[in-house]
Amino acid sequence: MFDWNDMRHFIALAEAGTLSGAARRMAVEHATVARRVAALEQSLGIALVRRAARRWHLTEAGRDIASVADGMQAQAHALERAVLARRHGRAARVTVSAPPAFASIFLAPRLSAFGARHPEIDLTLHGTQALASLHRQEADIAIRVGRPTEVDYVARRIGQLSYGLYAAPAYTALPPERWQFIAYDTSFDHAPEQKWIYEMAAGRRIGFRSNDLMSQLAAARGGMGVAALPRYLAGNKAGMRAGEGLVAVPGDARAFTRDFYLVVHADMRRQTAIRAVMDFVAEIFAREFPG
């Protein structure tokens, strides 16, 4: 009765609520989502969405279809995971999701060693703030800050990352009472990192906000204030030069750390290629961040 690929695009629209959000999720153009949804409506003979300038709203029929289709998609993903989990050879494609700065500054430069060790495994690295859904197979492995809460996920703690306060050298010469601070936008106010920088600011002004850690680093380097940054990013270790132009802020800042976890769907935890990638990441993390 309908093309399943059309239905997948409709589910993405139902979940995202906007054409742009659905297009990002499906990694296609807006027009492709619109065309796929229109084709699905034609196949089913019913209107699924009410089209508006900024947002498309589901009709009553659209909500019913989306609810049923979401269950169908979940079953399809479960079937695919069951098949993949029973492939015992190492040859595979593995997708890893990680926080953007960690992916680009820390992990990506170290993956050549994995390629030499496992040339039969093709790796894809997604650096994204959003938590990848392992249920929907947006990634095979997720590297997360903090323990996941999803019931079907298996988490392996690989260590801790420590954070510090950093600023441009000239900025630290200012009297501390004149310091401004750099933070995430207010949508991150629940995050431990955000609470820590608020505590360190102690009522002093937050002069710059960004949801992107690299933008915070650049702002601190440019003299906009004091930023809370992971030490791997700002510490100027060999091979990690992103922190050039920054110095640790003098003073007795309370130590702050976050636990890092490797996360995999329970159905996939024994798949050979996925285990190889997880073991490699855990190995380099233990080497770079002992204790």
- Asked: is 4-85 a CATH 1.10.10.10 domain? The reply is yes
Closest CA to 182 of 227, 128, 240: 227
Mean pLDDT, the chain, whole residue set: 84
pTM over 0.95: no
> Would you say 49 and 37 are in contact if contact means Cβ atoms under 8 Å apart?
yes
% of the chain beyond a pLDDT of 90: 37
Fold: same for 4-85 and 161-257: no
Instruction: Provide mean pLDDT across the span 272-290.
Output: 88
Any bridge partners for residue 50, and if so which? 57
CATH code of the domain made up of 92-157+259-288: 3.40.190.10
State the DSSP code for 253: P
Report the first-to-last Cα separation within the chain, whole angstroms.
Answer: 57
Is pLDDT above 80 for 287?
A: yes
Instruction: Provide mean pLDDT across the span 116-142.
Output: 86
Which two tokens mark 49? 């969405």
CA pair distance 32, 7, nearest whole angstrom: 13
How crowded is residue 155: how many other Cβ atoms within 10 Å of its Cβ? 17
Give the pLDDT of residue 238. Answer: 41
Min mean pLDDT across 28-42, 63-77, 147-161 is at 63-77
Model confidence pLDDT, tens digit, residues 90-111: 557 889 999 998 999 889 999 9
Query: What topology does CATH give the domain 161-257?
Result: D-Maltodextrin-Binding Protein; domain 2 (3.40.190)
State the DSSP code for 147: -
Q: Collapsing DSSP states into helix, strand and coil, what is residue 107?
A: helix
Which two tokens mark 33? 């989502």
Q: Angle at which helices 60-85 and 4-16 pack, to 10 degrees?
A: 110
Model confidence pLDDT, tens digit, residues 230-279: 988 876 554 445 667 899 898 766 779 999 999 998 887 778 888 899 99
Give the pLDDT of residue 239. Answer: 43
Model confidence pLDDT, tens digit, residues 44-94: 888 988 887 667 888 888 888 888 877 776 666 665 655 655 555 555 788
Domain positions in the chain: 4-85, 92-157+259-288, 161-257
Give me the residue label for tokens 């619109």: 34
Instruction: Provide mean pLDDT across the span 212-220.
Output: 93
Q: b/e for 165-196, b at 16 or more Cβ within 10 A? A: bbbbeebbeeeeeebbbbbbeeebeeeebbeb
Give the pLDDT of residue 220. Answer: 95
